[in-house]
Structure 1
Amino acid sequence: MSSWHELEKKQHKVVKLLTNSMKNNRLSHAYLFEGSVGTGKKEISLQLTKSFFCRDKNAEEPCNKCTDCKRINSGNHPDAHIIAPSGLSIKKEQIEQLVKEFGYAGVESKKKVYIIEDAEKMTPQAANSLLKFIEEPREETVAILITSNLHRMLNTIISRCQVISFAPLNVNELLEKLKNEGIPENIAKLAASLTSDFQEAKDISSDEWFAEGRNKVLKLTEDLFQKPEQAFIFLQERFLSHFSEKEQLEKGLSLLLLWFKDLLYLQLGQEEKVVFIDQIEKMKQLTMQMSQRRIVNRINVILEGQRKLHSNMNPQLLMEQVVLKMQEG
């Protein structure tokens, strides 16, 4: 069980804001916690709920020993309600049942809390039912809506909540969470270098298309160094057919950029920063054949390619230019 002190290390601004609000007795009647998956939104929601109910807390820190804390930890508190999607969505009936529950007096006090997970998954009818409920807040009631997709929430609901944004995980935190999911370190480190969103990184790690794309990037770099005359042929016959869409090619260029950055890190003696950790021995051999200047030149070629891709240049022509320029040195 986390403490506010421990949670502050992960979400400093969020925790400071909430604990100061409690200290000054100025909790909002409705919060909207938004941020990527894995950033602690539900964990902090439950911590706030415990602090709200706990009668033996030390300042803002809940005791985790009293009946209120124990029942919140086990999900059995009569005045703390958690709503989650039923199937693919949160339905109107679920919100209506919540409103009905809140029509009754609190079982042990006047206080009530409700937490809605994946709030963006409310049906339009459910969202409108909740909107009416939020517009008429009850005394000593706190609502916490949790979302990883703020853009999918009704603007009318957003405007009636205090929106608190959770900072994304840093690379090391994300890497540890991915490894705890059983994802091999070489894949986890690559995914964590491409996104700060836990769910997206997890999806990348299990995506067969991405795994094959990684292999094709490695084959392209091998050809560029060992068989430069074959690199352009491989590009035409195998690479472009895999990275056929603009979004896919963007990922391909990102992988290519990470690979060349790894070469530079090895030359600079910063092996701990390498992303393609299963390629280190091969890369070390290559660093003895290339100057830092040549590596930096190729990094600049890829960066230029990324800029041109965003300016809607033809993807095939763009990659042809990238490979030809890298062949030149």
Structure 2
Amino acid sequence: MQQTWQDLEMAQPRVVPFLIASLKKDRLSHAYLFNGPAGSGKSAMAIYMAKRFLCRQATGVDPCQVCKDCMRIDHGNHPDLHKMTVDKQTIKKEQVTALQKEFSYRGMESQKKVYIIHDVDKMTASAINSLLKFLEEPTQGTLAILLTENREAVLSTLLSRTQQINFLAPSHENMVAQWMKAGVEERHAHFLAALTGNTALIKEVTDGDWSFQARGVVLQLMKEVYLKRDHAFLTLSDKWLPLLKERFQQQLGLEMIFLWLKDFLYMKIGKEKGLVYVDQLQVFAQIARSTSTQQISRGVEHVMEAKRHLNANVPIQLVMERLLFKIQEG
């Protein structure tokens, strides 16, 4: 089913009217910075804007959806739409230079060009300097859309040369609906919606019941961390590491542990409404007899530290072994 501005507005009720007004007045900026959390729809919005910008049959604010330009964008092979993503944690000058060379030519299909840069906060200083020339002296018929989840990490020189638009985090209800649309049972959809707002992960997380398996391993691992201390490291080696091989899986696994500890803490202080692991109350009660709220809070802090180490490319086995040891240490 083709998206429309109306579909996008359901997730971003403040962003879409602003962009539509710009289109109606023919006052699109030459460069936008979309800032917002994963799953907020930045990529979908960027693609739809590109489609409208490149569509030669559009008569209103929406693209026609049926012309050659629209169809090529849908299939990811439009020659005048270029995307740039992170290469080994950074966007390098060479990537920007190659893009600038491409944009020195006229559009192949139309007289326009669009480029979308993901994770612009991860650009190297030299890459940013190369990009600034275009932002300061844009060529006619060119649109740049820069995406970030961390506006604070974007250099002020880029911020000052773009139209900044902030995206809201997706609502829990919206995410539940999207997970259920992907075929997830409602109860588990609530769990996944609490776990991540990144709709780009829906296929990966639901493929082959991975999320069910990962949840089961987390429940076993955390119970053993507190009640069968020696078994926890065996479960880490035999079940956790073989199942959570990809980076996004490891990140979600740590988030599952974070949510487990948060539920445990809420249960400990008598706030049991809205728990993610509502089926674990008996386990929480068993562990709570020998665990203080301070120890649980420190466990949450240790998970946050583990997330930072994982993002810094520390090997997952070292990250997890250190995390389990610290939680057991209290």
Partner of 1:127: 128
Measured after TM superposition, the shift of residue 199 of structure 1 is: 8.8
Partner of 1:290: none
Partner of 1:12: 13
Partner of 2:312: none
Measured after TM superposition, the shift of residue 253 of structure 1 is: 6.0
Partner of 1:278: 279
CA RMSD of aligned residues (A): 4.5
Q: CA offsets, 1:83-119, max 9 Å, x none?
A: 2233433221221111111112223443221111222
Q: CA offsets, 1:289-315, max 9 Å, x none?
A: xxxxxxxxxxxx979x97xx99xxxxx
2-structure distance, mates of 1:154, 1:96: 19
Q: CA offsets, 1:60-100, max 9 Å, x none?
A: 11111011111121222222211223343322122111111
2-structure distance, mates of 1:134, 1:116: 13
2-structure distance, mates of 1:257, 1:68: 53
Whether 2:49 is the aligned partner of 1:41: answer no
Check whether the contact 2:222–2:257 (CA below 8 A) recurs between aligned residues.
Answer: no
Measured after TM superposition, the shift of residue 160 of structure 1 is: 0.9
Whether 2:262 is the aligned partner of 1:254: answer yes
Check whether the contact 2:266–2:272 (CA below 8 A) recurs between aligned residues.
Answer: no
- Bigger CA radius of gyration: 1
Opposite residue 18 of structure 1, the aligned amino acid is: L
Measured after TM superposition, the shift of residue 120 of structure 1 is: 2.2
Whether 2:162 is the aligned partner of 1:161: answer yes
Cα distance change of structure 1 residues 181 and 36 upon mapping to structure 2, 3 Å threshold: farther
Partner of 2:102: 101
2-structure distance, mates of 1:14, 1:128: 29
2-structure distance, mates of 1:159, 1:108: 31
TM-score, normalization: structure 1?
Answer: 0.64
1-structure distance, mates of 2:51, 2:201: 30
Structure 1 residues not aligned, in runs of 5+: 220-233, 243-247, 266-272, 287-300, 311-329
How do residues 197-236 of structure 1 correspond to structure 2 at under 5 angstroms? 206=214, 211=219, 215=223
Segment of structure 1 superposing worse, 188-197 or 111-120: 188-197
Check whether the contact 1:214–1:255 (CA below 8 A) recurs between aligned residues.
Answer: no
Opposite residue 84 of structure 1, the aligned amino acid is: T
Measured after TM superposition, the shift of residue 18 of structure 1 is: 0.8
Check whether the contact 1:92–1:123 (CA below 8 A) recurs between aligned residues.
Answer: yes
Opposite residue 63 of structure 1, the aligned amino acid is: C
Cα distance change of structure 1 residues 167 and 118 upon mapping to structure 2, 3 Å threshold: same
Partner of 2:115: 114
Cα distance change of structure 1 residues 79 and 182 upon mapping to structure 2, 3 Å threshold: same
Q: CA offsets, 1:117-136, max 9 Å, x none?
A: 22223222212111122111
1-structure distance, mates of 2:264, 2:201: 19
Check whether the contact 1:31–1:162 (CA below 8 A) recurs between aligned residues.
Answer: yes
Measured after TM superposition, the shift of residue 181 of structure 1 is: 8.3
Measured after TM superposition, the shift of residue 276 of structure 1 is: 2.7
2-structure distance, mates of 1:209, 1:151: 35
Structure 2 counterpart SS, 1:82? strand
Aligned residues: 266
Check whether the contact 2:263–2:276 (CA below 8 A) recurs between aligned residues.
Answer: no
Segment of structure 1 superposing worse, 171-180 or 74-83: 171-180
Partner of 1:297: none
Check whether the contact 1:168–1:197 (CA below 8 A) recurs between aligned residues.
Answer: no
Opposite residue 65 of structure 1, the aligned amino acid is: V
TM-score, normalization: structure 2?
Answer: 0.63
1-structure distance, mates of 2:108, 2:177: 41
Segment of structure 1 superposing worse, 192-201 or 19-28: 192-201
Cα distance change of structure 1 residues 120 and 179 upon mapping to structure 2, 3 Å threshold: farther
Partner of 2:65: 64
Partner of 1:313: none
2-structure distance, mates of 1:2, 1:86: 29
1-structure distance, mates of 2:152, 2:161: 15
Structure 2 residues not aligned, in runs of 5+: 206-210, 234-255, 286-291, 302-330
Measured after TM superposition, the shift of residue 166 of structure 1 is: 1.1
Opposite residue 91 of structure 1, the aligned amino acid is: K
Whether 2:175 is the aligned partner of 1:174: answer yes
Partner of 1:270: none
Opposite residue 30 of structure 2, the aligned amino acid is: H
Partner of 2:4: 3
